[in-house]
Homo-oligomer: A and B are copies of this chain.
Amino acid sequence: MLTDTKKTSTIPVYNSYTGEIIGSVPQSSEQDVMNALDTAKKGEAIGKKMPASERISILKKAVLLMEQEFDVLANLIATEGIKTISQAKKEVTRALQTMQLSAEEASRISGATIPFNAVPGSEDRMGYELKCPIGIVVAITPFNDPLNLVCHKLGPAIAAGNPVILKPSDYTPLVAIKFGEILFKAGLPKEMLSIITGAPEYFGDALISDDRIRLISFTGGVTAAKIIQRKAGLKKMVMELGSNSPVIVLSNADLEDAVQSCVSGAFFASGQNCVGVKRVFVDAAIYDSFLKKFVAQTATLKIGAPLTEGVDIGPIISKQALNEIDQFVIESIDHGATLIAGGKKIGNSYIPTVLVADCNNDIANCKEVFGPVVTISKVENLEQAIDCCNKSPFGLHAAVFTNDIQNAHKAINGLECAGVMINDSTDYRIDAMPFGGVKLSGIGREGVKSAIEAMSETKVVCFKLKK
């Protein structure tokens, strides 16, 4: 169920590269949220009785429909969002996998039998865990992966039998709405999905604090996360927040490979990526060489219109975001960083930017910048590099380039984060793996299987039998 679009109040949706208006969506009201909750409560009862076979059938049909609408979905991502068309196509492919995985995991929701009879006095019991739908899920999603991150919440929610109220980013609601239509066409009962759009200040706290909501799955920034947490009351929360992912490059690494991975990881989607490379700590022995190659490689990136073939760098999502990136660069320099490349806007894009700073730079090393800015630092050894990485209050992914077993495992154990990639960029992820962060980077884990677990409640069943 979408919020009724016949109502007069709507908000525009923009082409983020050109700034043109390309559509509009309803500005949902508090009443819309209450209606969505009433609907979802009915959806809860439906989901609870819907056998896995039916949930699987809906998910599989959705996959087929997504394949049919592949280009429509990719174009929406590349227009209202910030990805180039080839990046957008990759996202649709990933989104398809996420939904396919959700269908597959829906047939594997299983508990364990509980060995009650191992406990003295309980010898005559037998029982097991049932996994039950948790109930109403509120999903709040960001603009940067506007389809796949929706799929990462709705796929598992449907797989687990839960109704969802989806609040997509104000910047990228159209692809979310298109996906909602696909789900309904695939057979999802209307009661199991509502989409709330528009600015949150118009519909207030109900979407967060209503007691009927059982889980909030939020992907976005730390500030919003803290507000949600404060207002949510007693419910489960899964939060995927920001980061400033670090890479360590040691002297025994394959240098070419490290440069290529780091440049790609830093500037994919113009750095508007929670696992994008933001900080690179390079062993002094190869530092000069690395920096030179990194800057040279960065210089080859082509800035332009997202729908143009061959473009690497598209727009930043908003003027405000552009300004925040600029501000980060300026403040980093104020705190001692040196600008090596980039450092300014072109239209709605931001030029790939390389800073050099040491890890005592409280801005460059500790703040999050959601744009194409990477800070490179020289380090004396692995221990120092690990300490620098851990200075950040975030902890999502980290990466290490090395061919040495001891170094690799020392880094794996020492880095405070939720994923360590050896010889790869921090933005490596497959949709089946547990995904999330520690420290300020988040609470809980997504990834289809992990999300289904989070969206299910364990019910212990115990039969007392006569001997």
Residues of A within 8 A of B (CB): 51-54, 56-57, 97, 104, 106-120, 122-123, 125-126, 128-130, 134-135, 211, 214, 222, 225-226, 229-236, 239, 241, 393, 402-406, 408-409, 412, 417-424, 428, 430-436, 438, 440, 443-445, 450, 457-466
Q: Closest approach, in angstroms, between the C-beta of A409 and any C-beta of chain B?
A: 5
- Contact in complex: A129, B115 (CB < 8 Å): no
- Contact in complex: A460, B418 (CB < 8 Å): yes
- Contact in complex: B405, A463 (CB < 8 Å): yes
Q: Closest approach, in angstroms, between the C-beta of A235 and any C-beta of chain B?
A: 7
Q: Closest approach, in angstroms, between the C-beta of A142 and any C-beta of chain B?
A: 17
A129 to B420, CA, bound (A): 10
- Contact in complex: B113, A110 (CB < 8 Å): yes
A9 to B57, CA, bound (A): 48
Set B104, B115, B430: member contacting A110, Cβ < 8 A: B115
Q: Closest approach, in angstroms, between the C-beta of A247 and any C-beta of chain B?
A: 13
**Also in contact, A462 and B419, with CB within 8 A (given A123-B51, A457-B438):** yes
A432 to B420, CA, bound (A): 27
- Contact in complex: B458, A434 (CB < 8 Å): yes
**Also in contact, A115 and B423, with CB within 8 A (given A234-B229, A403-B404):** no
- Contact in complex: A52, B117 (CB < 8 Å): yes
| Extra 4 A-B pairs, beta carbons < 8 Å, given A405-B408, A420-B460, A433-B460 | A111-B113, A129-B434, A225-B234, A428-B462
A460 to B120, CA, bound (A): 26
Instruction: Show 27 residue pairs from A and B whose CB-CB distance is below 8 angstroms, ordered by the A residue.
Output: A51-B123, A52-B115, A53-B118, A53-B122, A97-B119, A104-B107, A106-B118, A110-B114, A111-B112, A119-B431, A119-B432, A130-B412, A135-B438, A222-B234, A229-B233, A230-B233, A235-B443, A403-B404, A405-B405, A405-B422, A405-B465, A406-B465, A412-B461, A421-B462, A424-B464, A434-B458, A438-B457
Which residue of B is nearest A460, CB measured? B419
- Contact in complex: A420, B459 (CB < 8 Å): yes
Measured between beta carbons, the chain B residues less than 8 angstroms from A211 are 393
Measured between beta carbons, the chain B residues less than 8 angstroms from A225 are 234
Most chain B beta-carbon contacts within 10 A, residue among A116, A236, A459: A459
A409 to B117, CA, bound (A): 14
Which residue of B is nearest A222, CB measured? B234
- Contact in complex: A460, B434 (CB < 8 Å): yes
